[in-house]
């Protein structure tokens, strides 16, 4: 096990963006599989692996690079030590990044589902506020702990690990209309 951790650390040091993007993709895909298996209760033969691949891609291409870049920006502007720096980071994260990122995430999911811009706009109108409200029930506390206790190079991993549950929720929310269409 220590060999795996050392290998991970080495890859993270040599390729921070690539490693953090890959882990974000894996964990977003895992969240989608949890949604399909345990919330939607799909039998194995009905699992949508293409949907999971799309979630992986969104994590790899959007979520990983965006969060890694954002945390670097926060660290440069506010530092990494002290309660004041942490509170500034959480405030910026929750009032600037989170609302914007949710729009980007929901739009990317909609595009990956083949929806046109009109459908995506309607989905945003229907889902955005509820998802944002639920974001505020979870993420401020997670980010307080993350920014206060976790070194910068591990913050994306911590967030993406907690995000497995969040991504399960987002996957379910963004696919539930499709689930009822497919059962009719």
**Residue at 172 is within a domain:** no
Per-residue pLDDT reduced to its tens digit, 104-153:
999 999 999 999 999 999 989 998 999 999 999 999 999 999 999 999 88
pTM: 0.86
Number of folded domains that form the chain: 1
**Residue at 177 is within a domain:** no
**Residue at 180 is within a domain:** no
- In the chain, where do the E strands start and end? none
> Rounded to whole angstroms, what are the CA distances from 123 to 44, 77, 110, 120, 179?
28, 34, 8, 5, 15
**Residue at 173 is within a domain:** no
| Domain ranges, residue 29 | 3-162
**Residue at 85 is within a domain:** yes
**Residue at 168 is within a domain:** no
**Residue at 95 is within a domain:** yes
Q: How far apart are CA 179 and CA 35, in angstroms?
A: 12
């Amino acid at each position: 096990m220590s060999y795996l951790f050392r290998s991970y650390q080495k890859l993270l040091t040599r390729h921070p963006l690539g490693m953090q993007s890959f882990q974000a993709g894996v964990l977003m895909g895992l969240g989608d599989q949890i949604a399909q298996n345990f919330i939607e209760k799909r039998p194995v033969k009905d699992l949508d692996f293409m949907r999971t691949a799309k979630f992986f891609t969104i994590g790899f291409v959007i979520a990983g690079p965006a969060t890694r870049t954002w945390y670097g920006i926060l660290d440069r502007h506010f530092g990494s030590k002290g309660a004041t720096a942490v509170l500034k980071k959480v405030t910026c994260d929750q009032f600037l990044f989170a609302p914007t990122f949710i729009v980007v995430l929901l739009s990317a999911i909609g595009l990956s589902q083949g929806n046109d811009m009109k459908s995506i706009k309607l989905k945003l109108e229907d889902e955005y506020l509820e998802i944002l409200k639920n974001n505020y029930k979870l993420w401020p506390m997670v980010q307080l702990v993350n920014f206060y206790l976790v070194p910068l190079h591990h913050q994306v991993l911590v967030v993406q690990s907690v995000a497995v549950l969040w991504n399960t929720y987002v996957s379910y929310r963004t696919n539930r209309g499709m689930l009822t269409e497919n059962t009719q």
